[in-house]
Amino acid sequence: MKLSYLESFYLVTKLGSITKAADQLNVSKSVVSRYIKQLESQCAAQLLLRTTRSITPTEAGQALYIKCQAIFSLTQEAEQDIRDITQQNHGRLRFSCTVSLGEVLAEQVLPVFCQSMPEVKLKLNLSNDKADIVNGEQDIALRADDSLDDNLVAKYLGRLKDVIVASPVLVTSLVRSHGELTQPNQLAEMPCLINSHQQHFNQWQFSHSEKPEVSVDVSGDRAGAIASNSYFAMRQLALNHMGIARMPYYLVADDIKAGALVLLLADYSISTHSLYIVHARHNRLPNKLRVFKQLLVDWRAAHPELFE
């Protein structure tokens, strides 16, 4: 049975009028009459008794009308549920980003969202591996990557700023043993912390407004070298004088201000990566997703110092 046939029959029975049913469905009376005839043909039964004054259901029609009431009640509930999910502040929101950035956002962004939408269940997936958004594993994510799926909506936030840092104690020791650090190439002979999660992050690309670009590989097989897949571990190692670290500025900005870490080669820029907000395509963006996305945009606008 076609839903359009059932809907026509249901409204004619409910309203007792083909004209009123046609008006509500925004179709002609002849269309409604034809749909009911086709439904009666499919059912092999007369469903309505028509007189010049009234339309009433037969016994078979009454049985079908009761079923139609249940069907269209469920469709109305489904429509309301969808409105609640897309337009109201209910349900679930799944957010994915890297571990280090997620820790920062957990302090600066997520509390604001939770306070503004207390009925939304926020599920965080903090991982350095990409979560699948296209297939529905996540609702929204931050991606520090220029290679994005064409099926996703991507909002460019900018290029995250990386810096080279070390503790004052280590810097003093290195100046004594290697001289003052003024050129990127000097890093090849110094104790640099190695990123074991992404090997290409150990190829440090430096640019300068008045000098040629320089690439320094810090992943060499050096006695006493330390490798880590965690920016938080690398930060702690740097704070404890264990090596020179390439770090996202958002993780060490406070340490630099406090004097716990020293910014090295500050007149050089380091190649880094773009940051995007990504989510699946929607005909109508759910309100909770729209609000969360805007909070991420606002966070970026409030912290220009974290970007190049």
Q: Answer whether residue 96 shows pLDDT above 70.
A: yes
Q: Which pLDDT does position 287 carry in this prediction?
A: 87
Q: What are 265's two structure tokens?
A: 């080669």
Residues 36 and 181 in one domain: no
Task: Give 184-214 pLDDT, tens digit per residue.
Answer: 999 988 999 998 877 788 899 999 988 889 9
Number of domains in the chain: 3
**254 and 182 share one domain:** yes
* pLDDT attached to residue 161: 93
Looking at the structure, tell me whether residues 264 and 210 fall in a common domain: yes
Whole-number Å distance between alpha carbons of 169 and 160: 27
For residue 258, the model assigns a pLDDT of 97
- What CATH number is given to the structural domain containing 289? 3.40.190.10
Mark whether 16 and 80 lie in a shared domain.
yes
Cα(177)–Cα(157) distance, integer angstroms = 41
- Give whichever of 81-90, 112-121, 145-154 has the largest mean pLDDT: 112-121
pLDDT one-digit tens code per residue, 148-184:
888 889 999 999 999 999 999 999 999 999 989 999 9
Does 61 share its domain with 110? no
pLDDT at 89 over 90: no
- What's the pLDDT at 53? 83
Which residue range(s) make up the domain with 196? 162-270
Note the pLDDT of residue 51: 85
Cβ(227)–Cβ(195) below 8 Å:
yes
DSSP state of 244: B
Measured at the CA of 273, the angle between CA 271 and CA 278, to 5 degrees, comes to 170
What does the pLDDT read at residue 85?
A: 61
Judge contact between 100 and 236, C-beta under 8 A. no
208 and 229 assigned to the same domain = yes
Pairing of strands 121-126, 92-97: parallel
Q: Cα–Cα distance between 226 and 239 in angstroms, integer?
A: 14
Do residue 79 and residue 152 come from a single domain?
A: no
CATH number of the structural domain spanning residue 179: 3.40.190.290
C-alpha torsion 155→134→231→260, nearest 10: 30
Look at 266 and 78; give whichever has higher pLDDT. 266
pLDDT in tens, 17-65: 999 999 989 999 999 999 999 989 999 999 999 888 889 999 999 999 9
C-alpha distance from residue 139 to each of 94, 95, 285 (Å): 5, 6, 11
Q: What is the pLDDT of residue 93?
A: 92
Percent of the chain surpassing pLDDT 90: 59
